[in-house]
Structure 1
Amino acid sequence: MSYPLMISLLIEHMIGLTDAVFLGRVGDVALGACALGGVYYMAMFMLAFGFGFGAQIIIARRNGERRYNRIAPTMVQGCYFMLVLAVALFAASQYFSPIILRDIIESPQVYGATVDYLHWRTYGIFFSFLCVMFRAYYVGITQTKILTVNSIVMLLSNVALNYCLIFGKGGFPAAGIVGAAIASSVSEAVSLLFFIIYTSMTADKRKYGFRRAFTLRPHLLKGMLSISGWTMVQSFISVSIWFIFFLAIEHLGERPLAVTNIVRNISALLIMVISAFATTAGALISNQIGAGEQRCLFKTCGMTL
């Protein structure tokens, strides 16, 4: 389970790295603004990531209990919540981000580029948040291989769009950092479309309860929030610290901020490996609890260590 998930996380992290590679050819301002805007966006995304972790635990529990018809309803209720959260964060970011960033970013050039980047990048919230629920679904039912394929499709889309939109190739105007933001958002839309098509074609709709999954069930959402509330806060804080660090570096100049962006993207590769093992362990343990195999829990944790 860990290997496909690990590969998918590494590939998805390469999206940020490819943005840095392309924007490094545009200039230090674009690269530094991408760092600030990227971490700002990631802090919002981590709220969804934390919620998805809680949803994954419940899905895995139902899978272990063999109550398969409860899995799709849980996933769909999570999608409803993600859409509401995405609308709220998108509206708040579009309105408040320019006001907040104007007082904390020293360089006018970096500020302008960061606001331009975020204006287009936050459109990806609607797609990436729903992708989190599909990831929770496939990890919860221990079918992680498709995540690798999805990540490859997403990365290839991002690379092609970055090349066309940043530098103005293939008949597109050269958009610089705005092109990078649009490319990332569109690649997330491609990822979501892939998940929807693949799931509709391959999922056992009767087994997992997809046919009756779209009725609003607040009690399922309440159960997910009771588990994922703290993981949402923890995930948000873990990335917000990076944003504060990048702000401190920005006050040293545009070049140090650009260099820090590259170093962070490279150093974070190790975190992807750790995250894959942690996610897999969580899914397996929840499956074992659901199956009544509590005696295996410490053994599973020991194998992960």
Structure 2
Amino acid sequence: MTPPHAQPAKNPNRGASYSTLLRVAGPVLLGSLTQSIIYLTESLFVGRLGEVSLAAIGMGGLLFYLLTTVGAGLGLALQVVVARRMAQGRPGAARRQFAAAGHLALLLSGGLAVLLWLLAPPLSAALLPTPAAAAQVARYLRVVSLAVPASFGWLWLVGLYTGLGQTRLIPWSALGITVANILGSYAWIGGGFGAPRLGIAGAAWATVLSEGVGFVVLLVGLLWPAQAGLGGWLRKWRWHRRATRRLLRFAGPVVLQQVVEVSSWLAFFVLVGQLGIRALALSNIARSLYTFASLPALALAAALQTLVSRYVGQGRQAAVLPTVRRATVLAALLGLGPALALLAVPAQLAGWFSDEPALAAASVPLLRLLAGLLLAFSAGTMLSNAVVGVGGSDRALGMEVGATATYLLAAWGTVHLGLPLAAVWATEFAYWNLLGVLGWRYLRRGRWQPLH
């Protein structure tokens, strides 16, 4: 019998509450705004240069995003590993794997930046349907290759901050990135503030500036820490072979999963390009709004990944599924607002990107379709991220490959049947539904792999 003044013990298997999920996801949401703000800002400013430029920035932004996805996957893996090691009371192991991730980020970003600069012209010519669009993409990629190292550095540090649960500085870095990108885009794309009018190359220079600002803000937070738990992470910087090998064993599938996911976007845009420049321009508008509207779910997914990794590290496996359920419900609720806006005022939203009334009118069926896609995305992304969080990075990669192959095959079929652009985009339902079903089946079985 419980004593009259005693507090009942909290159920350790209940999982994270809605308020806990929101508290962890809030700063991550602001941090997630960075890449989306960059992509959205560039599309908004470049769209005023014409339909060809709008199509070109969509493809160029995807190619840059594809490279930085390697850094994002590395950061996600570091986030899970750090959360698990700290929950196990092994801060030394967490520090060694943080250093290993830093060395990998430096090596990979330098190599990929050089590769992007060298391959920009032939790659653009191979992917774009017209020489004019290809030339603009090549100009963009040559400049934006300079932003790759800073982007990797920022993602590496975000992985550490999020894994530690010390996310207060992430919103400030996001604010720095956002302000720098907006000011840079205004100055260099259209010639604002008396700056030279560089067109699509100006968008790339704005990205270089903003990625550098974001990295410096988080680096300063480690050099002069204001939060407990952030001190000393940069003191021991030597390479650890065993830590690197262990990190790669877990990070490899995570990175490949991220690359496969973004590569599917690139392949999808190449397929859409067969329908013409207008279809590419419309798809860039749709992707810009889709990416921005999905930010709450992406932030919740990052929070969920950290929380379930922590629960498994603490031996609280029974808390995982309740947390996943709450995160999925919360993501769907947060997606309702953007979905209603896409249903209610699609032409007005498209008008932000172009002065051409015909382009805005043509986007209406596509943007209304996105409202439904947002809800499917909310469930699918929660479940796939939870699989990674419990240590199933190999399984998550297999799920990603299977869902991507199904979705791209369906998209190829709709393009070659001559169906409308909205029908091509509707194939995304197959991707997210399959990913969600496979993720839920894996989580229900509970046969999760420990991180050694």
Q: TM-score per shorter chain, which class?
A: over 0.9
**Partner Cα separation in structure 2 for residue 78 and residue 150 of structure 1:** 20
Q: 1: distance between equivalents of 2:194 and 2:317?
A: 59
CA 1:11–1:98 in 2, change beyond 3 Å: closer, same or farther? closer
Q: Is 1:106–2:129 an aligned residue pair? A: yes
Is the CA contact 1:73–1:212 (under 8 Å) kept in the aligned structure 2? Answer: no
Deviates more, 1:15-24 or 1:270-279: 270-279
**Cross-structure match for 1:237:** 260
Query: Conserved in 1, the CA contact under 8 Å of 2:57 and 2:200?
Result: yes
Residue pairs, 1:1-305, within 5 angstroms: 1-202=24-225, 209-210=232-233, 212-305=235-328
Q: Which amino acid aligns with 1:29?
A: V
Q: Deviation digits for residues 29-88 of structure 1, max 9, x if unmatched?
A: 221111011111111111221121111111111221233344333222211101111122
Shift of 1:206: 8.5
Distance change (3 Å), C-alpha of 1:211 and 1:28? closer
Structure with max Cα Rg: 2
Shift of 1:160: 0.4
The answer on whether the counterparts of 1:164 and 1:172 sit within 8 Å (CA) in structure 2 is yes
C-alpha offsets along residues 267-289 of structure 1, whole Å, 9 cap, x if unaligned? 12343222212211111122233
- CA positional deviation for 1:27: 1.6
In structure 2, what is the Cα distance between the partners aligned to 1:170 and 1:75?
41
**What TM-score do the two structures reach when normalised by structure 1?**
0.93
Q: Tell me if the contact between 1:29 and 1:254 (Cα under 8 Å) persists in the aligned partners.
A: yes
Is contact 1:62–1:70 with CA below 8 Å preserved after alignment?
yes
2: distance between equivalents of 1:203 and 1:51?
25
Larger mean Cα displacement after TM superposition, 270-279 or 199-208: 199-208
Structure 1 residue 139, shift from structure 2 partner? 0.7
CA distance in 2, matches of 1:147, 1:276: 12
**Measured at CA, do residues 84 and 203 of structure 1 come closer, stay the same or move farther in structure 2, by a change above 3 Å?**
farther
Aligned-pair CA distance for 1:211: 5.7
After TM superposition, the structure 1 stretch with the greater mean CA deviation from structure 2, 59-68 or 156-165, is: 59-68
Between 145-154 and 94-103, the greater mean CA deviation after superposition: 94-103
How far, CA to CA, are the matches of 1:212 and 1:202 in structure 2? 13
TM-score where L is the length of structure 2: 0.64
Task: In structure 2, give the amino acid aligned to 1:280.
Answer: A
Distance 1:22 1:279 in 2: 30
Give distance in 1, aligned partners of 2:35 and 2:169.
14
Unpaired segments of 5 or more residues in structure 2? 1-23, 329-452
Secondary structure in structure 2 of the residue aligned to 1:3: helix
Structure 1 residue 205, shift from structure 2 partner: 9.0
Instruction: Judge which range, 51-60 or 113-122, deviates more.
Output: 51-60
Alpha-carbon distance between aligned partners in 2 of 1:129 and 1:167, rounded to the nearest angstrom:
28
1:208 deviates by 5.6
Using a 3 Å threshold, how does the CA distance of structure 1 residues 38 and 12 change in structure 2: closer, same or farther?
closer
| Unpaired runs of at least 5, structure 1 | none
Aligned CA distance change for structure 1 residues 213 and 288 (closer, same or farther; 3 Å): farther
Counterpart CA distance in 1 for 2:54 and 2:208 is 18
1:268 and 1:206 map into 2 onto residues whose CA distance is: 32
Partners of 1:39 and 1:206 lie apart in 2 by 36
Given that residues 222 and 234 in structure 2 are in contact (C-alpha distance below 8 angstroms), is that contact kept between their aligned partners in structure 1? no
User: Residue type matched to 1:151 in 2?
Assistant: A
The answer to whether the 8 A contact 1:59-1:137 is kept is yes
Give the % identical residues: 25
Instruction: Indicate if the aligned counterparts of 2:223 and 2:234 stay in contact, CA closer than 8 A.
Output: no
Hey, what's the Cα distance between the residues in 2 that align with 1:302 and 1:61? 21
Say what the alpha-carbon RMSD is for the aligned residues: 2.0
Structure 1 runs (4+) greater than 4 angstroms displaced: 203-209
